[in-house]
Structure 1
């Protein structure tokens, strides 16, 4: 007869006794009885916390956040995710409990008609920025704050984790007295000393003239936020908070700003605010990526092509890339993403066109990645030691491409480059060993940064500050 299990009651059964012994509910599936007692004090104190995420249908920003959701669930925390309904399947696949926004905008970036910001309609970078400010960051801030506060009242949380552009959700956390972490899923985009302002894709300054350029451009980059300040302060007033002097100040009010980007990819001289933590990129493939396809036959170098997972009018750039690869002695795997039907892409015989593929395993065989320089695709390629050819289409992509070039790990061509120009760039990266060596150095740095899950550790530390029942909105 088995003796009683010494593991304190938990919510999942023990891998050693299978839950057959009296009172066994070990915290870690497939762990031997008694494992709970060997956990560190900090782990015991943070087990079983209630975490509320706030996300929007922001394309490439979603998979990194859901990777953290998955990791928290695997560590035994309860995770709810306020999100657009179009994300609920992905949230559930990550182990989170989806909760719909009720008054905040609902979007679907794979469908251009359902996209909230429709930045692909903008004619200039400033137009793209204005759409994000007015349709997500500031314009509907009161709606995001109202929905987040309602969820915190209904079911208190120990910590709120929100995508950093959802200032309304971050406002709600501040009003509720809940520890708050914001997630930045690209290179840190806010003002910081020691580097050019984010946006123009400047190279780092050299000498007094370069530093003057950065000061002037930095002021110009902050100015457009002013138009969003009245709506943001209205949201703060409705939540019982004092106004802020600027939208940029509001971004800095989170207890922690977790940057899901390699510190090694940013400029070494850059100095960040005290609440910023670089916690390393998330390298998981999204749930919709599916299985690895059968690659084109042969042993020619493999070129992976991936533009955006959201709609950016990318059909023509995809076809130009396919045409370029048709002139080279390579094999191509072109992933269109959910927003483009692969049947609409004309491609030569050496290029396989699919809707999606898990980039992780494909990159282990790839010689080059051709991409819009979206942060997710770029960083996964660098983590695998694969150099890049970047064709920025908008958003943060010009900055990511600039940082890849600065690291020596790739080259950039215009977003509307011709097949001939693209072919020349691909040939250059394949023929020159320097980009691959630089990508290898970046891979080593990323491996070191991701050896431990710093994002989860930071969130658990915040969650340990305040029990949910004391968070100010207990029913």
Structure 2
């Protein structure tokens, strides 16, 4: 089978495709990945062939993103969906994806949930397509309603066909019921490695502190990390902080001896040893933690993070600490009250075993779903 994978920029959008790319490769399928220039370095480090499309005009993208960051969170998400993932990125990526579909003739197109140019290209060539979730279904459904003005010009009924296409998600039904008629649930099978002993033989519980792969690039990242470190630094724990490659690590200030800081560590390695994850509720971190049976304290800032934090708390697998100003934009700053609340939440989740027990039950439910290879077998249009 020939499978074309399509992604927008950003690790949180590309990483959910990786286990499916690997599963196709293991099956002996021919794989082609089409993505914007921002992912070229990641694709060049892998073995699969790829093609690079285009980015939207820089000045126009900057104008839209400036407006996004000035708006309240929900309005910012709406504008981002319509203008960035919709109008601008469809126009930029469509030539490369149409050429790939026309020349390479895939049997199936798998796209992450916010890459829509591949849907247009697949529809025009009569190629089956399916979308890979990067967030909770309830969040995806809320943004679906924004797509009609940007997708309908590419073909009548395309929004309905997108919604009717297979929806592939790692989340279990009890946590995230799906509104999509054709929903396939699956799980990854990571092989955690051992963490280095950065704490000199200490055996206190390990708290994993992260704001994901993108937050380190925002101007206030240093302040966010310092506040989060202050929240957990007084606890009787070991702390691993992954700050991202864009963060000024020396700018974090003095690091307590029981805290170790790295730009990046394989998530599976950390989650194999962690007792608690403190994060902003990004999908990759939150759902990875649940798949490993690790409870969370979520501090939601923007995008889908408030929805993810609610899912975690509703499931009893952790707590949410919404900043005192509410879920904020990228300029969010955590105040003294927020720091105290994060510390109290972390203490409670570490102390009360029910949080870990409920996270473990979700992990069991996730492991009962199809493997990535079994999922690809199901989607193979030749079978």
The separation in 2 between residues aligned to 1:233 and 1:342, in whole angstroms, is 46
Choose the corresponding residue for 2:256, options 348, 370, 382: 348
Distance 1:65 1:276, change over 3 A: same
SS of residue paired to 1:265 = coil
Asked if residue 154 in structure 1 is aligned to residue 103 in structure 2, the reply is: yes
TM-score normalised by the chain length of structure 1: 0.69
Choose the corresponding residue for 1:306, options 195, 204, 210: 210
Distance 1:98 1:117, change over 3 A: farther
> Which structure has the bigger radius of gyration?
1
Distance 1:230 1:386, change over 3 A: closer
Residue deviations 1:41-96 (CA, integer Å, cap 9, x gap): xxxxxxxx221111111331211112211221122111111112231232244432
SS of residue paired to 2:368 = helix
Farther-moved stretch of structure 1 (448-457 vs 424-433)? 448-457
The separation in 1 between residues aligned to 2:377 and 2:67, in whole angstroms, is 35
- The residue that corresponds to 2:186 in the other structure is 279
Distance 1:446 1:397, change over 3 A: same
SS of residue paired to 1:95 = coil
Asked if residue 391 in structure 1 is aligned to residue 343 in structure 2, the reply is: no
| Cα drift, residue 280 of structure 1 | 3.3
SS of residue paired to 1:353 = strand
Pairs within 5 Å for 1:159-198: 159-189=108-138, 198=142
Asked if residue 443 in structure 1 is aligned to residue 363 in structure 2, the reply is: yes
CA contact (8 A) 2:8 2:114 kept: no
Asked if residue 53 in structure 1 is aligned to residue 23 in structure 2, the reply is: no
- The residue that corresponds to 1:262 in the other structure is 172
Pairs within 5 Å for 1:68-217: 68-102=20-54, 104-105=55-56, 117=65, 121-125=69-73, 126-189=75-138, 198=142
- The residue that corresponds to 1:39 in the other structure is none
The separation in 2 between residues aligned to 1:433 and 1:55, in whole angstroms, is 39
Give the unaligned 5+ runs of structure 2: 324-333
Give the unaligned 5+ runs of structure 1: 1-48, 108-112, 193-197, 199-220, 466-475
Distance 1:151 1:345, change over 3 A: same
- The residue that corresponds to 1:296 in the other structure is 199
Distance 1:69 1:169, change over 3 A: same
CA contact (8 A) 2:187 2:372 kept: no
Residue deviations 1:385-428 (CA, integer Å, cap 9, x gap): 21111101111111111111111110010243632221111111
Pairs within 5 Å for 1:406-417: 406-415=314-323, 416=334
The number of aligned residues is 363
SS of residue paired to 1:426 = helix
CA contact (8 A) 2:170 2:366 kept: no
Asked if residue 367 in structure 1 is aligned to residue 367 in structure 2, the reply is: no
| Cα drift, residue 265 of structure 1 | 2.2
The separation in 2 between residues aligned to 1:331 and 1:190, in whole angstroms, is 34
Distance 1:355 1:60, change over 3 A: same
Root mean square deviation of aligned Cα:
2.9
The separation in 1 between residues aligned to 2:305 and 2:189, in whole angstroms, is 18
Distance 1:331 1:118, change over 3 A: farther
Choose the corresponding residue for 1:400, options 285, 305, 308: 308
Farther-moved stretch of structure 1 (433-442 vs 140-149)? 140-149
| Cα drift, residue 222 of structure 1 | 7.0
CA contact (8 A) 1:145 1:168 kept: yes
CA contact (8 A) 1:70 1:94 kept: no
| Cα drift, residue 367 of structure 1 | 1.2
Asked if residue 434 in structure 1 is aligned to residue 354 in structure 2, the reply is: yes
In proportion to residue count, which structure has more helix? 2
Distance 1:61 1:310, change over 3 A: same
CA contact (8 A) 2:109 2:130 kept: yes
- The residue that corresponds to 1:458 in the other structure is 378
